[in-house]
Amino acid sequence: MNRILFAKEGRAVYISHLDLMRTMQRAFIRAGVKIRHTEGFNPHPYMNFALPLGLGMESRCELMEFSLIEPDGPEELPARLNAVLPEGIRVLRAYESDLKFKYIKWLDMEAHLFYYNEAHPAAAIETFFSAPALVIEKKTKRQTANVDIKPLIASLKAADAAKGEVLVSARIAAQDPGLSPPQLISALEQLDSALKPDFVRFKRLEVFDKDMAVFR
Partner 1 sequence: MDARLERILPQVQKPARYTGGEYREVIKDRAEVDIRMAFCFPDTYEIGMSNLGLQILYGAINAQEGMWCERCFAPWGDMEEQMRREKLPLYALESGDPLTEFDALGFSLGYEMAYTSVLNMLDLAGIPVRSADRRSLTPLVFAGGTSCINPEPMADFLDLCAIGEGEELDVEILKLLRRAKKEGWDKPRFLQNAAKIPGVYVPSLYTPVYNGDGTLARVDAAQGAPEKVTKRIIEDLDRAFYPTHAIVPSTEIVHDRVVLELFRGCVRGCRFCQAGFAYRPVRRHSTQFLLEKARAALEDSGYEEITLSSLSTSDFKGLPELADGLLEWCEPRKISLSLPSLRADNFSMGLMERVQKVRKSGLTFAPEAGSQRLRDVINKNVTEEALLNSCRIAFEGGWNNLKLYFMLGLPTETDEDVTAIARLAEKVLHTWREYAVNKARGVRITVSTSMFVPKPHTPFEWEAQVSIDEYLRRVKLLRESITSKSITYNWHEPHVSLIEAALSRGDRRVGAVIERVWRSGGKLDSWTDYFSMERWLEAFSACGLDPGFYALRTRGEDELFPWDVIDVGVEKRYLARERGEAYAGRVTPDCRARCMGCGANRLLERRGCDE
**Residues between 61 and 90 that touch partner 1 (CB under 8 A):** 84-88
CA 38 to chain centre: 26
The verdict on 15 binding partner 1 (CB under 8 A) reads yes
Specify the residue, 151 or 182, whose C-beta has the smaller distance to partner 1.
Answer: 182
Q: What are phi and psi of 13, to 5 degrees?
A: -65, -15
Residues 32-51 that bind partner 1 (CB under 8 A): 37, 43
In 3D space, the residue among 158, 153, 171, 169 whose CA is nearest the CA of residue 212 turns out to be 171
Could you say whether residue 22 binds partner 1 (CB under 8 A)? yes
Query: Smallest distance, Å, CB 99 to partner 1?
Result: 29
- Quick one: which of 117, 125, 124 has its CA closest to 198? 117
Contacts of 4 (CB under 8 A, 6+ apart): 63, 64, 66, 77, 78, 81, 91, 92, 93, 94, 95
Element (H, E) at 205: strand 199-208
Q: Does 11 bind partner 1 (CB under 8 A)?
A: yes
Interface with partner 1 (CB under 8 A), residue total 27
| 12 contributes a contact to partner 1 by CB under 8 A | yes
Among candidate residues 181, 154, 153, 179, the one with its CA nearest the CA of residue 167: 181
Show Cβ contacts of residue 14 under 8 Å, excluding neighbours closer than 6 positions: 55, 56
**Minimum CB separation from partner 1 for residue 154, in Å?**
26
Which of these ranges, 5-13, 59-67, 93-101, 131-139, lies near partner 1 under the rule CB under 8 A? 5-13
Task: Scan residues 148-207 and list those touching partner 1 (CB under 8 A).
Answer: 199, 201
Cβ closest to partner 1, residue 15 vs residue 187: 15
Q: Minimum Å distance from CB 66 to partner 1?
A: 15
Does 26 sit near partner 1 (CB under 8 A)?
yes
- Phi/psi for 89 (5° steps) reads -105, 120
Among residue numbers 86 through 145, which ones bind partner 1 (CB under 8 A)? 86-88
Work out whether 210 is an interface residue with partner 1 (CB under 8 A). Answer: no
> Alpha helices of 1-141 — where are they, by DSSP H?
17-31, 77-82, 122-129
Span of 28-36, 95-103, 123-131, 162-170 interacting with partner 1 by CB under 8 A:
28-36
Q: Which residues bind partner 1 (CB under 8 A)?
A: 10-12, 14-16, 18-19, 22-23, 25-30, 37, 43, 55-56, 84-88, 199, 201
